[in-house]
Amino acid sequence: MVRTLGWLIWDTFRQSLANRLFWLMLGVTILSVVFCLSISVPESAPVRDPKDPLGELYLPNDRSLAEAVAKGEHVSSGAMTVGFGLMQVDFFRDSQSQVQFIRLVMAIGVAGVVGTLLILIFTGGFLPEFLQPSAASVLLAKPAPRWILLVGKYLGVMTFVAFHAALFVGLTWAAIGIRTSDWSPEYLLAFPLVLVHVGMIYGFSAFVGVLTRNPIAAVFGAVVFWVMCFATNYARHSAVALPEITRIERQNQLELERGRKITEEAEARAKARAEERKAKGLPEVEEMEPGMEIVPGVAGLDPESTADPHLVQGDLEEPKANSDGERNEGAGAVYEVAQQSSGLKWFTELSYWIMPKPADLAIVLERGIVGDLTHFASPQEFETVINMGEFHAGWSIASSLLMTLFWLGLAIHEFSKMDY
């Protein structure tokens, strides 16, 4: 059995050499390493106050970035050189955050997207080619269980992926460390996540390959399935986050409207008092300037005193009518969104848990490399789901791996019934 598995793994490498995939992947790794060795990220002052990481952006000389941009000034907190100094790129991050950004591009963009796409396209035909009667009859004549043959080909592809992923992640990590003196180990998390990413999609590709024995169908099916998995992943997070996003947006809108109303009333009272004093011949008293708006929660007002009591976290019950017999608008908006999305929520939730989750792997990798995301922004839906506590990385990866075993099981079952 061990010799059979070893031969099947070697046969996968032989196929990768025959269709030039091995050299293509090696070329991508070499180009990425050269790029990482060509960059230079000089030290630059942070553009945010460390005590207020979410506050206003400032230039190194403590001038407001917004003010400088409004004046038409060319500003940046630093510059990165690419191509061994041939090209300069300005950036609005501190040097450490810029290094993290480069790592994200390498891990998610190159390894996660480009690498996965190349592997799915060029390895999709490995299994159908292997299952052709002219090739399979030789193997089936030997005393080896069919499931060993199929598992061996799958392990062969995964060994090939592991080899190139280790080469890419290890060499780019070393190159970035040499050029920036930043040896953060979090980037190495890309290696196991890339394996999981490719493995869970290739399991479906193996099933299509066994079912059709057609290389084009296996490649096309794998790519379409990959896109569907990402779309389902995004749709689930959007469905979960939509009521909360609507609640926050509506709450902000109501607070702005109340603030504007309070300001208008204050200005009207000030104007009336001024006219009254003028009519009585009394000297004018300095009043509040029209531009000094009173905003709830900012100008000394307690935000809880103006907040909508129905718009609390998680309150999705149908709103009651107020004392005037009118339904609360803010709560009604949240309730209507929740009702409209509830019909699809169960479907997206079910689809989410039974399909691989490539977007979740990207979230895990992004959080691992960047950490607090001070200078980076994820899609609002992802951020909201994480803040709501509805993102479970462990269960997400575990369920994806479980479905990979399911597709492999179907492929083995189908292969066991084939006649040669």
Q: What is the pLDDT of residues 409-420, one digit of tens each?
A: 999 998 888 775
In a domain, 117, yes or no: yes
* Number of domains comprising the chain: 2
Side-chain half-sphere exposure of 270, counting CA atoms within 13 A: 14
- Tokens representing residue 311 in the block: 């718009």
> Which of the two residues, 309 and 204, has the higher pLDDT score?
204
Q: What is the pLDDT of residues 135-171, one digit of tens each?
A: 654 455 556 788 888 899 999 999 999 999 999 999 9
Tell whether 270 and 161 lie within a shared domain: no
Rounded to 10 deg, the angle between the 358-370 and 190-212 helix axes is 170
Tell whether 181 and 283 lie within a shared domain: no
How many whole angstroms separate alpha carbon 408 and alpha carbon 200? 10
Side-chain half-sphere exposure of 29, counting CA atoms within 13 A: 18
Instruction: Look at residue 17 in the predicted model and tell me its pLDDT.
Output: 92
Tell whether 30 and 94 lie within a shared domain: yes
Q: Whole domain around residue 259: which residue ranges?
A: 244-347
The lowest-confidence range among 38-42, 157-161, 271-275, 283-287 is 283-287
Q: Of 327, 347, 367, which closes a domain? A: 347
Secondary structure of the chain: what % helix, strand, coil (to 5)?
Answer: 70, 5, 30
Instruction: Look at residue 170 in the predicted model and tell me its pLDDT.
Output: 96
Tell whether 120 and 236 lie within a shared domain: yes
Pick from 164, 196, 119: nearest CA to 364:
196
- pLDDT over 90 percentage in the chain: 34
In a domain, 62, yes or no: no
Q: Of 321, 347, 373, which closes a domain? A: 347
Mind giving me the DSSP string for 23-46? HHHHHHHHHHHHHHHH-B------
Helix (H, G, I), strand (E, B) or coil at 325: coil
Q: Is the pLDDT of residue 74 over 70?
A: no
Average pLDDT for 29-50:
79
Highest mean pLDDT range out of 97-106, 110-119, 125-134? 110-119
Highest mean pLDDT range out of 157-161, 258-262, 378-382? 157-161
- Tokens representing residue 337 in the block: 């969104």
Tell whether 88 and 163 lie within a shared domain: yes
Instruction: Look at residue 48 in the predicted model and tell me its pLDDT.
Output: 55
Instruction: Look at residue 190 in the predicted model and tell me its pLDDT.
Output: 93
Q: What is the pLDDT of residues 89-108, one digit of tens each?
A: 776 666 777 888 889 899 99
Tell whether 273 and 376 lie within a shared domain: no
Query: What global pTM score does this model have?
Result: 0.73
Tell whether 250 and 299 lie within a shared domain: yes
In a domain, 399, yes or no: yes
The lowest-confidence range among 74-78, 249-253, 345-349 is 74-78
Q: What is the pLDDT of residues 285-317, one digit of tens each?
A: 555 444 444 444 444 444 444 444 444 444 444
In a domain, 162, yes or no: yes
Tell whether 95 and 177 lie within a shared domain: yes
Do the beta carbons of residue 71 and residue 63 sit within 8 Å?
no
Instruction: Look at residue 410 in the predicted model and tell me its pLDDT.
Output: 94
Instruction: Look at residue 96 in the predicted model and tell me its pLDDT.
Output: 76
Please name the residue that has the structure tokens 């941009």: 69
